[in-house]
Amino acid sequence: MPIRAILFDLDGTLLDSERESAEAMARALHVGLGVEIGQAERDFIIGRSWVDIYDHLCAVHGPLAWSRAELIAATTAQRASVFAELGVTVLPGAQQAIARFRHLPLGVVTGSSRAEAAQALDALGLGGVFRAVVASEDVPRSKPAPDGYLAAATALGVAPSECLVVEDSHAGIAAGLAAGAKVIAVQAGNFAGHDQSAAHHVLATLDQLTVELLRSL
């Protein structure tokens, strides 16, 4: 069955902003709650959803005075200044891959919030390119559940089996497979060393995501 749409993960796949997000979260917790987080909590956010991050913080530091939504909002506010200070790293081949497949319906499925996704896509210069953006608020379950990818396929009017999912994390790969999509893993942003072996193909960078490869799936 030919691929009719491509669904991209965001952080770790199109750009590397998770370290900036960790710094923003650390600043938000320090300023807002007087909570100091260590490197382990910063590292934990890589490849994980806000549901998992919030639960982990509560397990380590006890119940937070903020709800998960309040933590996300405070982090998003701090992230704008962190991006301005540190910039954002676009992963190799990301913008070129998007340009190569602009003729197809494209979507983003992320564990980030809508506001964070908008910040990141603007930083990439890709605001408005994606016909569907599914963020953490939009689905009841985060990756590795397939909810986000199923929602994106529905929004694009394409069967999940006709979608290609492009991911970096183990949970994201599992989500794409559970949705019934073809899954490609990209190594360039896999800084946490997630196991990518379950994907149908593993690429070094998005430069290798070619029209010829798509036709072969």
Active site (catalytic) residues: 9, 11
* Beta pairing partners, 5: 163
What is the Rg, in whole angstroms, of the alpha carbon atoms belonging to the chain?
Answer: 17
Closest CA to 28 of 80, 63, 86: 80
Closest CA to 148 of 157, 156, 139: 139
Closest CA to 143 of 21, 37, 204, 52: 52
The CA angle 123-91-47, to the nearest 5 degrees, is: 90
In the numeric block, which tokens belong to residue 177?
Answer: 């497979």
Query: In 30-178, at which residue ranges do the beta strands (DSSP E only) sit?
Result: 89-90, 106-109, 132-134, 163-167
Closest CA to 90 of 68, 117, 123, 113: 123
Say how far residue 167 (Cα) sits from the centre of its chain: 8
Question: From CA 149, how far away is CA 152, in angstroms rounded?
Answer: 5
